[in-house]
């Protein structure tokens, strides 16, 4: 009787799968096929057919896996970050009585109500299933905490310094949290693109010189906390969208975080919201710059690792600079232009992945 395993080994050597031969093509799987045939040639043919069939399946699986890795949700995160960038423009167009704290609470409340109504009309207003209540509570708390710490950081450290430190801390913190919580190790390309993006971010925010005379480590507490809290939000919400739609997760997260921010409405004026101008601002900041972008980011997080998603969120100041120049007629210096170009280049570097050459037959 011929040595069947020897034949499998020979064929595996031919096709470059010697190391996987024992696992993928056990003798027990070949015997039923071989026993139905007679003769040495037919036995060879049977083994070759089974091997070739499994080899093609392996190549097909590798091809599907490669395609999935290329479509990793990066574009959703990037587009979501661009929509985030409109919040500063809308805030600048808001009534003079609008405080940053009310704007932060308003955007979450409006987004939660709009998504709830949308889900109700679509008859898809469901509670999240198969998720960790702890992670959900932490995500909602992080959403609320980010609003407070970011605005406090901007007030304490200044708009330029506070924004740079807060947003720059997001990818750094996300990389650490992704490594600790999900064993996600950033690629070498991530380090390069993140460094370029942070440099571009600094160029954009300091293009006017930047007032840094009040700079101190004490003023950095809130901006650093804001960046870490947003990265923490990304890490905790990543698991929630694996088994639930982004709209379902964000609907309840917005509503829960709005409850946590209820005290704000007792300390700051908000009657301006009920004017025509105020209502337009509320809908704009709640739908365009909150509900839509957060859902896009959550959709991208399903297949995009936390560190990469955080770096792509640096596209927000890119969009803000363009909107400020186009809508608010803010000047864009040469330094700011190079900052925009640097962030755009870093995003392209992070998203672009050249297609691998097809395997030779």
User: What are the structural domain ranges in the chain?
Assistant: 4-65, 72-351
Q: pTM of the full predicted structure? A: 0.69
Q: How many CB atoms lie within 10 A of CB 96?
A: 5
pLDDT in 10s for each residue of the chain, 361 residues: 444 444 444 434 434 443 444 444 444 444 444 444 444 444 444 444 444 444 444 334 333 333 444 457 888 998 998 898 888 788 878 898 988 889 889 999 999 999 999 988 888 877 777 778 898 999 999 999 998 888 888 777 776 677 777 888 888 888 888 888 878 788 888 888 888 888 888 887 766 554 544 556 677 888 889 889 999 998 888 888 888 889 999 999 999 999 999 999 999 999 999 999 999 999 999 999 999 999 999 999 888 888 888 888 888 777 877 877 787 777 778 888 888 888 888 888 877 755 543 444 3
How far is residue 95's CA from residue 91's CA, in Å, rounded to a whole number? 8
Q: Which of 305, 262, 298 is nearest to 131 (CA)?
A: 298
């Amino acid at each position: 009787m011929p040595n069947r395993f020897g034949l499998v080994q020979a064929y595996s050597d031919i096709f470059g799968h010697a190391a996987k031969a024992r696992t993928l093509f056990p003798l027990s799987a070949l015997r039923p096929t071989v026993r139905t045939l007679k003769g040495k040639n037919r036995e060879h043919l049977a083994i070759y057919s089974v091997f070739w069939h499994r080899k093609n399946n392996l190549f097909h699986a590798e091809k599907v896996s490669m395609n999935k890795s290329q479509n990793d949700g990066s574009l959703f995160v990037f587009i979501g970050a661009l929509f985030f960038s409109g919040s500063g423009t809308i805030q600048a167009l808001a009534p003079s009585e609008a405080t940053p704290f009310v704007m932060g609470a308003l955007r979450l409340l409006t987004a939660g109500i709009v998504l709830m109504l949308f889900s109700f009309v679509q008859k898809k207003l469901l509670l999240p299933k198969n998720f960790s209540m702890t992670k959900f509570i932490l995500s909602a708390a992080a959403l609320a905490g980010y609003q407070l710490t970011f605005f406090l950081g901007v007030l304490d450290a200044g708009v330029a310094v506070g924004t740079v430190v807060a947003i720059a801390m997001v990818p750094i913190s996300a990389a650490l949290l992704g490594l600790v919580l999900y064993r996600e190790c950033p690629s070498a390309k991530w380090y390069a693109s993140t460094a370029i993006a942070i440099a571009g971010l600094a160029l954009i925010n300091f293009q006017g010189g930047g007032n840094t005379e009040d700079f101190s480590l004490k003023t950095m507490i809130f901006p650093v906390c804001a960046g870490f809290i947003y990265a923490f939000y990304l890490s905790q919400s990543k698991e929630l969208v694996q088994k639930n739609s982004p709209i379902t997760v964000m609907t309840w997260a917005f509503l829960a975080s709005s409850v946590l921010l209820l005290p704000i409405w007792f300390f700051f004026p908000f009657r301006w919201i009920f004017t025509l101008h105020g209502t337009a601002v509320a809908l704009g900041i709640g739908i365009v710059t909150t509900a839509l972008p957060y859902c896009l980011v959550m959709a991208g997080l399903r297949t995009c690792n936390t560190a990469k998603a955080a770096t792509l969120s640096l596209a927000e100041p890119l969009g803000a600079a363009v909107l400020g120049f186009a809508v608010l007629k803010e000047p864009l210096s040469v330094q700011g232009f190079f900052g925009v170009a640097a962030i755009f280049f870093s995003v392209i570097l992070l998203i672009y992945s050249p297609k691998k050459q097809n395997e030779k037959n």
